[in-house]
A and B are shown apart, each in its own frame.
Chain A
């Protein structure tokens, strides 16, 4: 216990007396943690945008005019229970007509033609939304098969618009997958670069103490007594950098939240505030781990037997 106390005290003292070296290490780590925070926020923006695009895609099943509602409801019920399906909403023939009239309110010729017919020429339809874009094809194939549809009875389905939209859906699917993979790759590269930069800064800070590490060992200090204070310094670098990073991102996200919500498709400031605790813990953990591991590896290099 007393050994731990001494190691912690030495670590704090070394940090305080480190001057420019400590300042440079904290600055570099703050930049690194800022990069990591930016990546987390950008990922949130990317996923939010992709989610919005995904939500715009659906498949509509149009029914023949006069198709019995109980058959439609049983199909709706069946579809709702499919694991790939997120939601199914029903629009009745009357509702479809009302929407049609509203949409063509200023198109008198069309409305006159509709009145001429006298009866509702539109059938009801179901809007099916899948959990993943890639699952629309399965749902469409399922609907196209004979087995489901009223078991031998005449098909109530007029058409399914999946095949008309297939090209768009496939392209969107590829685009979203590509964006996610690219996002992950960029994240990985930036994180690796950041880690290397921090590791080298800490290594440089410890390189200055290279000779003293040897001296400590020669006066009988154990390996943990030599390594410990450097690791404590690493923890301090991480903790202080976390505080600075969180402080920098508070006004930055506030500014972006006010001005860029339309562009991002989400309010980044609200996201930052609602995830502040998780973000803080994640950054603190990354910073301290980075500091401790870098210090441990860097000192080990100079520890003779």
Chain B
């Protein structure tokens, strides 16, 4: 498999006066295209910071992060926007656009990617059906349950068929049934060829995926297992 994401000695210090407190501490890793990688660790271990680095939502204090040959944090605005269109993002708190309906939330991601009205009209109902939300197309996020909102967030993340899906604690606010459904969807997306990076501290989720697991503790990688077990 080809390398897709590279972390080269990445360090992140939020409080510059407190150099001892590092959210990420000299992280180096490679994630290949098509992989399903679970990033695990306790709260504050650095999971969210790590995925935010890939999204360029945070800048590293030291080191560099590459998406293929692109140094993510040295990209111009336009190029960064282009890169983000190659990724799909799922958050614990869904981060849906509250004043848009389910249909419009997904259509927005397609509009952002420059898709035509015809493509939007054809693909959005299809992906809503895929996550079993076809009947809620005209509902606003506040009119939907947590599980439905997360399925909508996944639909938004996959609508442009991204090469990489980043899921930051996607099951954190869900009950076991919805959690299971979300994990099944992510596995299906991975089987269709997309790389998936899943940040979570849910042992059941990680064990049920059974793929590569990177374990973080105090900003450092303490384990990187191919056999897919949550060990802490």
Contacts and interface: CB of A to CB of B under 8 A. Distances in A.
Interface of A: 2, 6, 13-14, 17-18, 211-212, 214-223, 225, 304-305
A220 B98 contact: no
A118 B108 CA distance: 101
Contacts of B96: 215
Contact of A6 (B98, B111, B160): B111
Nearest to B112: A221
The 4 closest A-B pairs by CB, nearest first: A220-B85, A221-B112, A220-B84, A220-B112
Contacts of B19: none
B84 to A, nearest CB: 4
A219 B112 contact: yes
Interface in B54-103: 55-57, 77-78, 80-82, 84-85, 87, 89, 95-99
A5 to B, nearest CB: 9
Contacts of A305: 56, 77, 80
Nearest to B93: A211
B87 to A, nearest CB: 8
Contact of B77 (A17, A18, A211, A223): A223
A211 B87 CA distance: 19
Given A219-B108, A220-B112, A222-B112, 10 more contacts: A2-B117, A214-B57, A215-B97, A216-B108, A218-B57, A218-B95, A219-B109, A219-B156, A220-B160, A221-B108
A18 B99 CA distance: 8
A223 B78 CA distance: 9
Interface string B141-162: 0000000000000001000100
A219 B113 CA distance: 9
Contacts of A13: 99
A17 to B, nearest CB: 5
Contacts of A215: 95-97
Contacts of B55: 218
A214 B84 CA distance: 12
Nearest to A5: B117
10 contacts: A2-B116, A2-B117, A214-B57, A215-B96, A216-B97, A219-B112, A221-B81, A225-B111, A304-B57, A305-B80
By size class, the interface of chain B is 20 to 34
A223 B80 CA distance: 11
A222 to B, nearest CB: 5
A104 B97 CA distance: 87
A212 B56 contact: no
B60 to A, nearest CB: 13
Interface in B110-155: 111-113, 116-117
Contacts of A223: 77, 81
A98 B54 CA distance: 99
Nearest to A7: B111
Contacts of B56: 305
B112 A225 contact: yes
Contacts of A216: 97, 108, 112
B109 A220 contact: yes
B57 A212 contact: no
A216 B82 CA distance: 13
A43 to B, nearest CB: 41
Contact of B89 (A212, A219, A304): A219
Interface string B30-62: 000000000000000000000000011100000
Contacts of B111: 6, 221, 225
A305 B84 CA distance: 11
B98 A212 contact: yes
A223 B76 CA distance: 12
Contact of B81 (A14, A212, A214, A220): A220
Given A218-B89, A219-B89, A211 B84 contact: no
